[in-house]
Structure 1
Amino acid sequence: MLDIVIEARKASIGPGMDVRRILPFRLRRMVGPFIFMDHAGPVAVQPEQTHAMDVLPHPHIGLSTVSYLFGGQVTHRDSLGVQQVIRPGEVNWMTAGSGIAHSERFEDPKALAGGSLEMIQTWVALPEKDEEAAPAFNNYKPGQLPIFTDTGVWMRLIAGNAFGLQSNVKTHSPLFYLHVALDKGAHFGLPKEHAERGIYIAKGSVEVSGNTYTVGQMLVFTKGADPVILAKESATLMLLGGEPLGERFIWWNFVSSRKERIEQAKADWKAGRILLPPTDNAEFVPLPEDRSRPAGSPAPQALS
């Protein structure tokens, strides 16, 4: 059965860049190991505004960031020295582990023309044994990701396993992450092999058990539920979930099973102990100092 419906909230991560924030949600912090989800775009800006949208170098610990584009392109740079342009259908999977800094730059004005930029950002929490793993980065091309098609259904398995398919994307815990496109009237379901499962509606609308749900809503289902998803119109869905990892603390861009580790990460960033990208080190995002927030409230996150 349907456990909860999460309504995306508007969040601003910079001039001209408002996003729909889905996770974390106060009544549902995680779905499987997924602890953060933003939907940015479609975004259209004037060429002279492009630089203002850039996400400056900022740090992460204890998680993997996952970038997936529907349109446009973004340039990633990180403290490992990686520079990678990500394009639609590719996956940037960056494991922060013990600590990494990266930036995301919108350097091609043509990629923003006509509202073409649209992207999904998720964070995947790491199992405790991997929270201090060495940082790593991988880019996967569309041809490396399994595709399934049926009447009115197109599906790309971004990561994990689902419906008998297995992705080659390296993960640290059992999960699944899918991009699904449905024609009007098409039916779809949820993979049964995972304990926690959610559907985010990126475009269009769907019907589940006689109720209609639309853009910006995430439907999270109880274990064992086997819903039928009917596309009321052409729809784009992101399905995700997996095995729960236990409680995680999140503050700004830091995720950990231990509060004291987040405090250490704050101090490390403030003191410059987390290195900046060697090819993008002239500016960075300072540690937030928001004293107006109640104790325990998370600071605003960067896009990824």
Structure 2
Amino acid sequence: MLDQIIDARPAALGNGFTVRRILPYRLRRMLGPFIFMDHGGPVALPPQPVTSMDVLPHPHIGLSTVSYLFDGQLTHRDSLGVEQVIRPGDVNWMTAGRGIAHSERFEDPNLLVGNSLEMIQTWVALPEADEESDPAFTNYSIEQLPVFTDTGVWLRLIAGDVFGLTNAVKSHSPLFYAHVVLQPGTRFGLPLGYSERGAYVAKGRVEVSGRTYEAGQLLVFTKGIDPVLVAHEACTLMLLGGEPLGERYIWWNFVSSRLDRIEQAKADWQAGRIALPPTDNTTFIPLPDDKSKPVGSPPPPPLS
């Protein structure tokens, strides 16, 4: 049974680059430990404007960012001194913990000429015991990620445990995250055993219980139900979910179980107490002039 359907909304990142924002949503702030999900692209640009899409150094606390590319390439730099080219199919897992800053830049504009950039970025909230952990970054190459295939089904495990697949990607709480491609007419079910589960339709159309859902929709399912997704055409899905962590607050790039910790993070960024990437420290994104309070994560609404 479907609990909820979340339609992606356009969100401007600046410099003419707009993404589809899936999480957080006003009626569901989180899905398992996932508190943020953006779908960027596909976008193809001539060489000159590409560097205008660079994301300048900015801070995070209390979460792990997970960058996953379908197409294109970008370069990650962070305050630990890590410099990593992010390529399609790799998993790039950055744990902010008590605080980290990073940038994402397009180093070779010609990579997008005639091609496209398309990526999914998610944030995974940390358990309270890990919110002040040491920051870390790990790149898991495409060769480290198991792939499952069956008639009409291709699946790459990004993190967690699904359908008997596991990998070395380190997470801090029970979750699952997978990239799935279905051929037309294929029937496919979600993993069982998790309290909260969802399927984001990145491309194509799928049918569930006689109703069709389009690209840009996140389908959230009831615990214990074994839904069957039927591909109307070639489809790309992102499966995600896991065990809830309890209420979290989110403001700008900061996530925490404590309101006062977010206020401290604001002050730390303004005062320069969160270091910039050592090889990308001449510019940064200043703290927004936003007087709004951090948004909490209420429980899901009752079923209608």
TM over 0.5: yes
In structure 2, stretches of 5+ residues that fail to align are 297-304
- Equivalent positions of 1:219-230 (< 5 A) are 219-230=219-230
Say which SS state the counterpart of residue 122 (structure 2) adopts.
strand
Q: Deviation digits for residues 69-92 of structure 1, max 9, x if unmatched?
A: 000001000000000001000011
Counterparts of 2:255 and 2:112, CA distance in 1: 31
Displacement of 1:18: 0.6
Q: 2:89 — aligned with what?
A: 89
Q: What residue identity is the alignment partner of 1:239?
A: L
In structure 1, stretches of 5+ residues that fail to align are 299-304
TM-score, normalization: structure 2?
A: 0.96
- Kindly report structure 1 stretches of 4+ aligned residues shifted beyond 3 Å: 295-298
Counterparts of 1:16 and 1:61, CA distance in 2: 27
Identity, % of aligned positions: 73
Q: 2:233 — aligned with what?
A: 233
Counterparts of 1:64 and 1:111, CA distance in 2: 27
Q: Deviation digits for residues 76-109 of structure 1, max 9, x if unmatched?
A: 0000000000100001100000000000001111
- Equivalent positions of 1:1-304 (< 5 A) are 1-291=1-291, 293=292, 295-296=293-294
Q: Deviation digits for residues 206-249 of structure 1, max 9, x if unmatched?
A: 00000000110000011111100000000000000000000000
TM-score, normalization: structure 1?
A: 0.96
**Paired residues of 1:42 and 1:115 also in contact (CA < 8 A):** no
Displacement of 1:290: 2.5
Counterparts of 1:297 and 1:64, CA distance in 2: 18
Counterparts of 2:23 and 2:17, CA distance in 1: 18
Displacement of 1:14: 1.7
**Paired residues of 1:59 and 1:99 also in contact (CA < 8 A):** yes
The count of residues paired between Structure 1 and Structure 2 equals 296
**Paired residues of 2:259 and 2:294 also in contact (CA < 8 A):** no
Counterparts of 1:51 and 1:268, CA distance in 2: 28
Distance 1:95 1:297, change over 3 A: closer
Counterparts of 2:109 and 2:44, CA distance in 1: 10
